[in-house]
Structure 1
Amino acid sequence: MKIKYIAFLALSLALVACNDEADFDRTEEVVEAPELSAGSADFSTYVSLGNSLTAGFTDNALFMAGQQNSIPNLLAAKFALAGGGEFSQPLMNDNIGGLLAGGTRIEGFDPRLVFDGSGPAGLEEVVGPIEPTTDIVLNNPTGPFNNLGVPGAKSYHLLAPGYGNIANLQAGLANPYFIRMTGSTPDASVLELAMAQSPTFFTLWVGNNDVLGYALSGGDGTDPITDKATFDFAVSTLVSTLTSSGAKGVMANIPYVTSIPHFTTVPHDPIDPNMNDFASQVPTLNTFFGALNQVFEFLGQPERSIVFNDSINNAVVVLDENLADLSAQITGVLNANPAFPAFVQQFGLPEAAAPTVATLMGDAYGQARMATEDDLLVLSSSTTIGEVNAFSFNALKGFGFPDAMAAQFSVEGVTLPLADKWVLTPEEQDEVKVATDEFNATLSAAASGAGLAFVDTNQLLQDLDQGGVTDGDYTLGAGLVTGGGFSLDGVHLTARGYALLANEFMKAIDASYGSNFEASGSLYDIGNYPTNYSPTLR
């Protein structure tokens, strides 16, 4: 055997000796990437206009680290390699998030969310009391600013004079984030501040809040969808003005709300019978709702029946404003039932309370039903379901209910239907989708008509939700906490998600203006960007 291998080795050496060394060089040829080129784009003065997704909002707050990883700031760093100039942002004073006005916290502008080991939690819940340092009265930064992304802004807000004037804040006509940007020109609009810089290139991502505000409020009407005429006028004005001096740019469209975890994380049936001894309460609940279900049956509405189970997860009870209001009928049928006073006595109430209970049941369940898998519960409902509603509790006490009973019949999503603001019903989802499709058609037509690059973020975020999107060595999904694409508020992206979109913006610019960000190897490695920020970050 040894002799055979020696002979084979000798033959191999002879073959090598008979051939030129180059014939056996198997080293792959290294192809150098081309030098980065801007193509026909001029990045010398770049401005970005939009809302929270432009500002770098993440984890339900605006803070320095998020702003530094915003899409415009990431783009500007690459533009600088291809002739781009300086890029200024209205940076917050800290990494806490939240806003003050003269030392007092502005309601609704709270510190950021962090991961507490099980899910999203307020920063102060994890680290204890902490005070934001960004004050719209005492320490606004000095512009001009290239990043004019204003969290909360709708399309038409970018045209509105006085939207950044602190004198309009109390009336609800000004935005605290924009107040920080206007400086000595408090009545200047976002568009005016952009044009004052004579931009040569811009990014415009608007429209999300024109539908998202309605969705986030569960379609309860407190934040209506922008009417199409107003939206179309805003987009037309923005695009025509921004391109009036020859500037080029890139636009993006609006994602479907069903693609983001704020609406897909909380299931319609989150009530676990093993939690808080719920299973032991099921017989009592079903006895109570049994009387109501008989009324639904009598009224020809058996599909509204409310029944709980002690062995499987239970759907929540919701208020559906799309249902016919049976309040008066429920009250009437219960009062007409001679057995109802005895039924009321089962719960420790006097017989004389029967008419009051009948009225209360009619008011509470006139538009009630159990949720189905077609309903979308907003993320914030997770901290409400199962809690005792203080208003209902106090009201029932006022009617003479003992404390324990008043609490028992005020449990959110169980004995008290979840209010409209917590649930996006199928009908409300349809309203959002119709508006989104109409607005996206407007955005696409505006970009096409002006010869602008365009990013289909709607499709991208659908892909994120339906299997994930791979960029380099990383695949991002839409799962809250685990997916890596969405931050802890379930609406805005993580830094890694923003880096992914920055790459998509550059690819769109390549396709429209002949630049070569992708071919030159200038896209971002999204793995260099975090999916969450530590609670210790200040």
Structure 2
Amino acid sequence: MIKNIKWLLLVSLSFVACNDDDAVSEEPVSAGSANFSKYVALGDSFAAGFSDGALFKKGQQNGYPSLLAQQFAQVGGGSFSAPLCGDDNKGGLLFMGVPIQGTRLYFNGVGPVPVPGLPVTEVTNHVTGPISNLGVPGAKSFHLLAAGYGNPAGVPGGLANPYFARFASSPSTSIIADALTQQPTFFSLWIGGNDVLSYATSGGIGVDQTGNPNPATYGPNDITDPTAFNSVYNGLVTQLVAGGKKGVVANLPYINTLPYFTTVPTNPVPLDVATATQLNTQLLGPIDAILTAYGEGARIVTLSAGSTNPLLIKDESLTNYSAQITGALMANGVPAAQAGLMGGLYGQARHARNTGDRDFVVLPTRSIIGTSQAGVPAPFDKVGVTYPLQDKDVLIPSETNAIKTATDAYNVTIKNAAEANDLAFFDAKSVMEQLVNGGIRFGNYHMTAAYVTGGAFSLDGIHPGARGYAMIANKFLEAINAKYGSTFRPIDLGNYQIQYPASL
């Protein structure tokens, strides 16, 4: 009934493009009013250099903190250390020899697939510090203050983070404590993305905790209360700027600027004439008639022959008409078991929308569209066609609006903290919006948010690739130059790949 979505390799992705022809200034680089002799980076997976669904050595070395440190070295910046993963560049983690994070993705000519083999980076093989790059994949804002967040005893099933456990100075320390112990003269802070992102990537299965300022009560996929975020963020900045230290902070993009949420269309269902007619007259048509009787006629659309029919989804924000559907079908002679099945499936079902208050299908869903749902009899088993996509598979408007509201509040906090503490400010939200709306040009390079081919994002659809991180580093440098009068030159994006090949 439907073919799996395939990805086509439109350009050669694993080679470095020709160098930018723009002339590079040879004027001496100056630090301006900032002191870059000891730089520390704090944040989440973006700061860590996470890419292609994993943390691996080459990605860490091409992450924006490492690139910034290389530029700072021109004006007296000291050594910059990172908790590098194994030399094999496969990515992933082992805990006591058992894989707990998979290897990175690469493009095999058809689609993204994991690099073969098992990870080699063992969490319990401790990396000695001090560590300059304190970016920790998975960290939320309040995790930076959490004592014991790197306690190996809490890995893998407890509250501790396996990435921080690799390099935390002690089991009881916090990320902010390990940063301050190094007495930094300059810092970067980009945190808050995971405070909404885990909710978004899970399809909104968590809870919007707005109004609950106690993060200790949150689940892993919940949205952080903006009041809690404000308190945590200002607490972090207050500690980091003590003694006159300078730094740069970045705000947060909307999730709908990330390919993870925009790549899979809401209308990818191909149907022939016979199948469309059968669905309209024998299955979804009767459901629509029942819903219309209850004033919900807009939920189900008429399907047609072609390749752009909308996905059928479950919208848990809708009134549930399961009992009414079941009763109406039974009254029309449908056996009780089948009527009950159909009532359960379609009580909150509707077709996805791609305009206005639209839906966003998460990237992993592409692999299940059109497959058969286990345990469900035909013809009700075709995922996204006769079996609705579930909560984890799609973000509905109410969920997207909750994410946007929280993100806006976080960004107000970040901007106010930057202004109150005279810090450089990188408007990452605007940059991500530019990538979606026409792209960004750097010399000979045009970068967009397109999945695989856009040049900015890696194959996980969330984190940048090598060239994307180099672009982000340039934007950080622009913000630093503007605030502190430094004269750092932009990094040549031509030296960085769009996508990493299978072997590094």
Asked whether the 8 Å contact 1:306–1:317 carries over to 2, the reply is: no
Question: C-alpha distance in 1, partners of 2:468/2:138?
Answer: 20
Asked whether the 8 Å contact 1:119–1:481 carries over to 2, the reply is: no
**Residues 94-131 of structure 1, C-alpha deviation per residue, up to 9 Å, x if partnerless?**
3111111111111xx2111111213322223xxxxx11
CA shift, 1:34, in A, is 2.7
User: Does 2:92 align with 1:103?
Assistant: no
CA separation of 1:416 and 1:533: change in aligned 2, threshold 3 A: same
User: Does 2:410 align with 1:425?
Assistant: no
- What's the counterpart of residue 473 of structure 2? 502
Q: Which runs of 5+ in 2 are unaligned?
A: 1-22, 208-220
Larger mean Cα displacement after TM superposition, 294-303 or 237-246? 294-303
Question: C-alpha distance in 2, partners of 1:294/1:32?
Answer: 69
Q: Secondary structure at the match of 1:304?
A: coil
CA shift, 1:280, in A, is 4.6
Moved over 6 A (4+): none
CA separation of 1:383 and 1:101: change in aligned 2, threshold 3 A: same
Question: C-alpha distance in 2, partners of 1:52/1:145?
Answer: 15
Question: C-alpha distance in 2, partners of 1:32/1:209?
Answer: 38
User: Does 2:146 align with 1:160?
Assistant: yes
**Residues 253-288 of structure 1, C-alpha deviation per residue, up to 9 Å, x if partnerless?**
000111111111111001123xxxx65533433312
Question: C-alpha distance in 2, partners of 1:235/1:407?
Answer: 52
- What's the counterpart of residue 33 of structure 2? 40
Question: C-alpha distance in 2, partners of 1:476/1:468?
Answer: 5
- What's the counterpart of residue 204 of structure 2? 219
User: Does 2:168 align with 1:174?
Assistant: no
Q: TM-score, normalised by structure 2?
A: 0.89
Amino acid at match of 1:456: D
CA shift, 1:421, in A, is 1.2
- What's the counterpart of residue 121 of structure 2? 134
Q: Secondary structure at the match of 1:39?
A: coil
Query: 108, 112, 118: which is aligned to 1:116?
Result: 108
CA separation of 1:318 and 1:92: change in aligned 2, threshold 3 A: same
CA separation of 1:163 and 1:407: change in aligned 2, threshold 3 A: farther
CA shift, 1:454, in A, is 0.3
CA separation of 1:174 and 1:407: change in aligned 2, threshold 3 A: farther
CA shift, 1:87, in A, is 0.3
**Residues 30-78 of structure 1, C-alpha deviation per residue, up to 9 Å, x if partnerless?**
9974311111111111100000110101111110110000100000011
Query: 324, 338, 352: which is aligned to 1:371?
Result: 352
**Residues 509-529 of structure 1, C-alpha deviation per residue, up to 9 Å, x if partnerless?**
111111111xxxx32011110
- What's the counterpart of residue 351 of structure 1? none
- What's the counterpart of residue 285 of structure 2? 290
Question: C-alpha distance in 1, partners of 2:323/2:278?
Answer: 25
Amino acid at match of 2:247: G
User: Does 2:182 align with 1:187?
Assistant: no
Asked whether the 8 Å contact 1:215–1:424 carries over to 2, the reply is: yes
- What's the counterpart of residue 210 of structure 1? 195
- What's the counterpart of residue 300 of structure 1? 295
CA separation of 1:73 and 1:31: change in aligned 2, threshold 3 A: closer
Q: Secondary structure at the match of 2:59?
A: helix
Amino acid at match of 1:141: V
The number of aligned residues is: 464
Query: 517, 521, 525: which is aligned to 2:492?
Result: 525
Question: C-alpha distance in 1, partners of 2:453/2:157?
Answer: 40
- What's the counterpart of residue 535 of structure 1? 502
- What's the counterpart of residue 387 of structure 2? 416
Question: C-alpha distance in 1, partners of 2:153/2:289?
Answer: 57
Q: TM-score, normalised by structure 1?
A: 0.84
**Residues 331-351 of structure 1, C-alpha deviation per residue, up to 9 Å, x if partnerless?**
1222223xx23xxxxxxxxxx
Q: Secondary structure at the match of 2:109?
A: coil
**Residues 207-257 of structure 1, C-alpha deviation per residue, up to 9 Å, x if partnerless?**
111111111111122612100121111101110001112210000000011
- What's the counterpart of residue 11 of structure 1? none
Pairs within 5 Å for 1:65-80:
65-80=58-73
Asked whether the 8 Å contact 1:326–1:362 carries over to 2, the reply is: yes
Report the structure number with the largest CA radius of gyration.
1
Q: Which runs of 5+ in 1 are unaligned?
A: 1-29, 125-129, 342-353, 397-405
Question: C-alpha distance in 1, partners of 2:339/2:379?
Answer: 17
Question: C-alpha distance in 2, partners of 1:468/1:161?
Answer: 41
Asked whether the 8 Å contact 1:472–1:525 carries over to 2, the reply is: no
User: Does 2:314 align with 1:319?
Assistant: yes
Query: 269, 272, 276: which is aligned to 1:271?
Result: 269
CA shift, 1:407, in A, is 4.6
Pairs within 5 Å for 1:17-56:
33-56=26-49
CA shift, 1:164, in A, is 0.5
CA separation of 1:220 and 1:32: change in aligned 2, threshold 3 A: closer
Question: C-alpha distance in 2, partners of 1:70/1:377?
Answer: 28
Q: Percent identity?
A: 48
Asked whether the 8 Å contact 2:95–2:156 carries over to 1, the reply is: no
Asked whether the 8 Å contact 1:43–1:201 carries over to 2, the reply is: yes
Amino acid at match of 2:73: A
Query: 246, 249, 252: which is aligned to 2:250?
Result: 252
- What's the counterpart of residue 355 of structure 1? 336
CA shift, 1:502, in A, is 0.6
CA shift, 1:532, in A, is 0.7
Question: C-alpha distance in 2, partners of 1:526/1:267?
Answer: 30
Q: Secondary structure at the match of 1:182?
A: coil
Question: C-alpha distance in 1, partners of 2:197/2:367?
Answer: 21
Question: C-alpha distance in 2, partners of 1:114/1:148?
Answer: 26
